[in-house]
Amino acid sequence: MIHLNRISTEPPKRWEKKETKEKLSELHKELFELQNKFFADGRHALLIVLQGMDTSGKDGTIRHALACMNPMGIETKSFRMPTKEEGDHDFLWRIYPHLPAKGMISVFNRSHYEDVLVPTVAKSIPEAGLRHRLELINALERHWVSSGIGVLKFYLHIDQGEQKERLAERKQDPQKRWKYDAADDVAAKHWDHYRKAYEQVLSGCNDVPWNIIPANKRWCRNYSVAKVVRDHLDSLELKYPRKRASAKRKRAQ
Amino acid sequence: MIHLNRISTEPPKRWEKKETKEKLSELHKELFELQNKFFADGRHALLIVLQGMDTSGKDGTIRHALACMNPMGIETKSFRMPTKEEGDHDFLWRIYPHLPAKGMISVFNRSHYEDVLVPTVAKSIPEAGLRHRLELINALERHWVSSGIGVLKFYLHIDQGEQKERLAERKQDPQKRWKYDAADDVAAKHWDHYRKAYEQVLSGCNDVPWNIIPANKRWCRNYSVAKVVRDHLDSLELKYPRKRASAKRKRAQ
């Protein structure tokens, strides 16, 4: 069982801000090239799942860790409160259309995990139902991996003090105020409930393992996420194929 | 009437490669900030349409002019040969779902124009039908603009000699060979037919005006496209709103 309070939210010892930021710039160049090869190679897909408490930096991670990517090869999907139509389906219905095609990277800003976390805190689904969802997610994520989709799951780990500071900043900074939602304050009051819900999800849905990223420092978070993505792409032994991969790239004619 | 043979495919006089590339780096930084404001502002949408002969650099433009963007705010859609399902609908059916929402940028890699260009060359639709499509596109693009979608249309202008060189390069370069399609050679033989079809489209669908970009030099093309996008975003007098723009940004809860 994972205990988030025992896992550091701060950068590893000896990591320096300036040096890490320089290393991130280098990673961006590598990612730009690797992504091109990944797209050309066309044998794999990649799903990046970003989860974390409010203000943990999901948007910021996309903006600062992944904005080096060619938009042709990456799609981002934010999962918000289910719409009426989404709510009329099972919880995975809205997820499926956004899975990445071969050669593509999909980033889920929140994900299917919201439909375990929120009902856990709200106690709107009985425990057996929640367990069933966890089992289903495990089975499905394994299936995705065996179908050629790399699944990189990130929990952006901040502590409660950091959240309080960021919420205050969000309300005051004219460039961030537009992100503030009164619901953030409500959720903040349930910090411990959400932490426990996350602990269940991180422990119970680890068949495809989670990356728990110390995220109190944005520079540490950005570099850490980018590095996991780089290492994953690098491990695939990507090649520029000799021939056009498939008909899907065929141009209109 | 536009005559493409009378329009230069080369950079304007006095433009230097090194200096222009440096200016593009500066533009990228500006675009990164402007796009964030555009997303936050949430009052406008932006559609970027890329058209041009094979090898004119549509993919390269996305990769090198627009890869500075936050993937959360930009979506790319490549329109290839219509699928069976797409062909069973009118030619605009597959376009509509990919129009940008407020705050978002959509890039069309090829577009609804393919469904005028290809049938013009193939003579598969009678002239009256083609004229009807042009009128419809004019009406629709005007409607999009009046609905708050900026529409930036780019024709990437290369000459036939440049295309021949690029096709040869595509076949030889191990990093580019995967893009080669035998259909490219077939289309290349119809250069003059495609040029004339483009002249009709550029002249007949100019209610929302085309940007004809000299594209023989990639550095000139990348800078020119990025500059048009920057100038457009800059003209919108974007603001960070005081409050969350709308329910669409609401997070799952």
pLDDT over 70, % of chain A: 96
Pick A63's closest partner by Cβ from B72, B110, B187. Answer: B72
Give the model's confidence band at A252: pLDDT under 50 very low, under 70 low, under 90 confident, else very high. Answer: very low
DSSP bridge partners of B154? B50, B211
Are A55 and A170 in contact, with CB atoms under 8 Å apart? yes
Give the model's pLDDT for residue A250: 43
Q: What is the ipTM of this complex?
A: 0.87
| Distance in Å, alpha carbon of A176 to nearest chain B alpha carbon | 8
Beta strands in chain B (DSSP E): 45-52, 74-78, 105-109, 149-157, 210-214
CB contact under 8 A, A80 and B251: yes
In this prediction, residue A248 has a pLDDT band, given cuts at 50, 70 and 90, of very low
Express each pLDDT in B123-136 by its tens digit.
999 999 999 999 99
| Cβ within 8 Å, pair B118-A70 | no
Evaluate whether B7 touches B157 at the Cβ level (below 8 Å).
yes
Contact (CB<8Å) A252/B177: no
8 A C-beta contact, residue B48 and residue B78: no
The residue type found at A101 is: A
- CATH superfamily placement of domain B7-240: P-loop containing nucleotide triphosphate hydrolases (3.40.50.300)
Give the residue from B53, B118, B49, B103 showing the smallest Cα distance to B78: B49
pLDDT value, residue A246? 53
Share of chain B above pLDDT 90, in %: 89
CB–CB of A82 and B251 under 8 A? Answer: no
Q: What is the pTM of this model?
A: 0.92
Place of tokens 């299917």: A112
- Are residues A174 and B244, on separate chains, in Cβ contact within 8 Å? no
Q: Residue A182: closest CA among chain B residues belongs to which residue?
A: B244
| DSSP output for B178-205 | GG--HHHHHHHHTHHHHHHHHHHHHHHT
Q: What is the residue type of A58?
A: K
pLDDT tens for residues A153-184? 999 999 999 999 999 999 999 999 999 988 88
Segment A72-129, tens digit of pLDDT = 999 999 999 999 999 999 999 999 999 999 999 999 999 999 999 999 999 999 999 9
pLDDT tens-digit profile of B194-212?
Answer: 999 999 999 999 999 999 9
Mean pLDDT of chain B: 94
pLDDT above 70: percentage of residues in chain B: 96
Give B246's pLDDT tier (boundaries 50, 70, 90): low
- Kindly determine whether residue A70 and residue B63, on different chains, have CB atoms separated by under 8 Å: yes
Q: Report whether A58 contacts A162 (CB < 8 A).
A: no
| Minimum-distance CB partner of A180 among B72, B82, B244 | B244
> Which chain A residue is nearest to residue B241, measuring alpha carbons?
A178
Query: Of B66, B70, B240, which has the smallest distance from its Cβ to A63's Cβ?
Result: B70
For A59, the closest of B72, B181, B250 (CB atoms) is B72
Per-residue pLDDT for B252 more than 70? no
Of B54, B69, B244, the CB nearest to A67: B69
Mean pLDDT of chain A: 94
Q: Which residue has the higher pLDDT, B45 or B250?
A: B45
CB < 8 Å to A80, chain B: 248-252
Smallest Cβ–Cβ distance between A75 and the set B69, B75, B178 belongs to B75
CA distance A95 to A100: 11
Contact assignment for B187 to A253 by CB distance below 8 Å = yes
Closest Cα to residue B134, out of B73, B205, B230?
Answer: B205
- Work out the average pLDDT over B9-33: 97
Q: Which residues of A touch B179 (CB under 8 A)?
A: 40, 244, 249
pLDDT at residue A247, as a whole number: 44
User: What are the φ and ψ backbone dihedral angles of A155, each rounded to 5 degrees?
Assistant: -105, 115
Residue A243 with chain B: CB contacts under 8 Å: 177-178, 180
Asked if the Cβ–Cβ distance from B250 to A181 is below 8 Å, we say yes
Identify the closest residue of chain B to A113 by CA–CA distance.
Answer: B252
Amino acid at A100: P
**pLDDT for the residue A67:** 86
Q: Of B72, B99, B103, B57, nearest to B233 (Cα)?
A: B103
Q: In sequence order, what are the beta bridge partners of B76? A: B107
Say if the Cβ atoms of A177 and B245 lie within 8 Å: no
Closest CB from A42, A72, A251 relative to B181: A251
Q: Inter-chain contact B178–A241, Cβ cutoff 8 Å?
A: yes
Size of interface A-B (CB pairs under 8 A): 142
Give residue-wise pLDDT tens across range A214-233. Answer: 999 999 999 999 999 999 99
Query: What's the residue count for chain A?
Result: 253
Contact yes or no for A252 and B114 at CB 8 A: yes
Average pLDDT for A16-29? 97
Reply yes or no on whether the pLDDT at B242 is more than 70: yes
User: How many whole angstroms separate alpha carbon B253 and alpha carbon B251?
Assistant: 6
